[in-house]
């Protein structure tokens, strides 16, 4: 009986290397600690619950049970993929591409912000002595702002307004650019190491088109369900959850992008019809558990040794990234109708870097293990450094823009 229970809950327990009946104990402790500390942090300090989850993760990481090697595989990867899929799908479903047509300066700002981030981080990394491909890899990882942190903090605090909307849009776009760029980077590494050049070009194309195809299927399926059922009903949400996980399974089976697929599915759903789709945030309790585990896992990605080797470079990379993003948003924001205060808010809210970067790094590790290993201290330290700061920056941005719901201020 205990074994069966363990098996059923192994997707949670496997986040940590405890085996046997201890897995259940460990997972339960993490859940309890995460929920408790998350609540304390939220009520006493008025900070997002994910700060509490991350703190628990950092503690678990310090105890040596984390993913500090950057190797997230098996069930841990499954939890990360599932949680991210839900968050990215939700994020995509909030982004209206028509807005880019009516306000083209948003697209200009977004492209400028992503390109400038890449260039500045690349140059700083080169200046600090990294080789070309490593600098490019760090720069690519720095492009996306974490949709997970942004989506979670915004919904937890009921944030609404221009900063929230614009950051949502920017995060969705720069995640797409980032994932695409990381595929190009892998192709470049393949070419560099003398692999078949056709494959190096065909593969990213396959990933892009394939992910888009499955995203479309998921979008159509959800739209069909939503036309007949009320998505605010708990049972319909379960159906929705099932569809997202099935699509994710297909994505993994075909070796496609687990980041791109859910994001594009959400985008497809929002932009293929004007009808509003409304479902409970994070798909109710099941999604809530996954989100908690996601932030705990990301929180465990640090280690003292990695910080000692790559900490300073990581700090430099993150500082360069923040400067680049702010510079683009502050200069171009005005043209898209942003006030100065809002531009500051948007640039601040674009700083988090977390699960998306971790998954991108992990994919890189899957295809180019040796190369990724060199990067590991910098990449993982960056993720660790930004884990807490990111959530706090988003909250500060939303607070200063007065976008937090009246009863949650």
Q: Which stretch binds other proteins (CB under 8 A): 93-101, 112-120, 142-150, 297-305?
A: 93-101
Q: What span, in angstroms and rounded, lies between the C-alpha atoms of 34 and 56?
A: 6
For residues 177 and 4, what is the distance between their CA atoms, to the nearest angstrom?
43
Least separation in angstroms between residue 42's CB and other proteins is 18
**Residues 6 or more apart whose Cβ sits within 8 Å of residue 26:** 13, 16, 18, 65
Stretch of residues binding other proteins (CB under 8 A), selected from 175-183, 202-210, 211-219, 275-283: 275-283
User: Position of tokens 């500060």?
Assistant: 396
Q: Is 160 in the site for other proteins (CB under 8 A)?
A: yes
Q: Per rule CB under 8 A, is residue 94 in the interface with other proteins?
A: yes
DSSP annotation string for 185-253: HHHHHHHHTT--HHHHHHHHHHHHHHHHHHHHHHHHHHHHHHHHS-TTSHHHHHHHHHHHHHHHHHHHH
**In the stretch 226-255, what mask flags binding to other proteins with x, by CB under 8 A?**
----x-------------------------
Question: Any contact of residue 165 with other proteins (CB under 8 A)?
Answer: yes
Taking CB under 8 A as the rule, which mask of x and - marks residues 170-199 in contact with other proteins? Answer: ------------------------------
Name the residue with tokens 């600098």: 135
Q: How far is CA 226 from the centre of its chain?
A: 26
CA distance linking residue 399 with residue 26, whole number of Å: 36
278 forms part of the interface with other proteins (CB under 8 A): yes
Asked if residue 17 binds other proteins (CB under 8 A), the reply is no
Q: C-alpha dihedral over 253, 259, 265, 267, to 10 degrees? A: -170
Q: Which stretch binds other proteins (CB under 8 A): 39-47, 69-77, 160-168, 251-259?
A: 160-168
Which range, of 70-78, 120-128, 142-150, 158-166, touches other proteins by CB under 8 A? Answer: 158-166
Does 96 sit near other proteins (CB under 8 A)?
Answer: yes
The site that binds other proteins (CB under 8 A) totals a number of residues, namely: 24
By CB under 8 A, tell whether 275 contacts other proteins: yes
Minimum distance from residue 394 beta carbon to other proteins (Å)? 18
Residue 216 engages other proteins in binding (rule: CB under 8 A): no
Which of 9, 40, 59, 103 is the binder for other proteins (CB under 8 A)? 103
Shortest approach of other proteins to residue 209 CB, angstroms?
Answer: 28
Q: Give the CA radius of gyration of the chain.
A: 20
Q: Count CB-CB contacts under 10 A for residue 30.
A: 25
Nearer to other proteins, 28 or 339 (CB): 339
SS3 assignment for 301-343: CCCHHHHHHHHHHHHHHHHHHHHHHHHHHHHHHHHHCCCHHHH
In whole angstroms, the minimum distance from the beta carbon of 347 to other proteins comes to 17
The residues of the shown chain that bind other proteins, judged by CB under 8 A, are 94, 96, 99, 102-103, 158, 160-162, 165, 230, 274-276, 278, 336-337, 339, 342, 402-403, 405-407
């Amino acid at each position: 009986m205990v074994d069966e229970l363990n098996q059923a809950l192994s997707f949670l327990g496997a986040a940590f290397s405890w085996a046997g009946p201890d897995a259940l104990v460990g997972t339960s402790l993490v859940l309890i600690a995460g929920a408790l500390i998350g609540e304390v942090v939220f009520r006493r300090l008025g900070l997002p619950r994910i700060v509490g989850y991350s703190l628990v993760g950092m503690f678990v990481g310090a105890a040596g049970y984390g993913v500090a090697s950057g190797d997230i595989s098996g069930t841990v990867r499954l939890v990360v993929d599932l949680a991210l899929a839900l968050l990215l799908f939700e994020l995509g479903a909030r982004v209206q591409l028509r807005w880019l047509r009516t306000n083209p300066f948003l697209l200009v700002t977004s492209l400028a912000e992503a390109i400038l981030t890449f260039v500045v981080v690349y140059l700083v990394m080169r200046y600090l002595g990294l080789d070309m491909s490593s600098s490019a890899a760090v720069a690519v990882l720095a492009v996306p702002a974490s949709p997970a942190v942004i989506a979670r903090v915004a919904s937890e605090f009921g944030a609404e307004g221009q900063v929230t909307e614009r950051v949502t849009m920017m995060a969705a776009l720069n995640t797409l650019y980032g994932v695409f760029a990381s595929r190009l980077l892998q192709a470049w590494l393949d070419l560099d190491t003398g692999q078949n050049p056709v494959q190096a070009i065909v593969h990213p194309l396959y990933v892009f088109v394939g992910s888009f195809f499955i995203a479309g299927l998921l979008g159509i399926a959800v739209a069909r369900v939503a036309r007949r059922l009320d998505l605010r009903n708990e049972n319909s949400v379960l159906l929705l959850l099932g569809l997202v996980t099935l699509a994710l399974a297909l994505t993994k089976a075909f070796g496609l992008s687990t980041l791109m697929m859910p994001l594009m599915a959400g985008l497809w759903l929002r932009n293929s019809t004007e009808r509003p789709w409304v479902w409970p945030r994070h798909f109710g309790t099941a999604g809530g558990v996954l989100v908690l585990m996601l932030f705990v896992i990301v929180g465990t990605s640090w280690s003292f040794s990695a910080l000692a080797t790559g900490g300073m470079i990581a700090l430099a990379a993150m500082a360069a990234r923040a400067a680049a993003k702010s510079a683009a948003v502050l200069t171009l924001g005005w043209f898209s109708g942003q006030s100065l205060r809002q531009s500051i808010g948007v640039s601040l809210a674009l700083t988090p870097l977390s699960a998306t970067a971790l998954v991108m790094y992990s994919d890189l590790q899957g295809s180019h293990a040796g190369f990724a290993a060199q990067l590991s201290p910098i990449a993982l330290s960056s993720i660790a450094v930004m884990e807490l700061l990111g959530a706090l920056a988003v909250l500060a941005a939303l607070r200063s823009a007065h976008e937090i719901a009246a009863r949650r201020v």
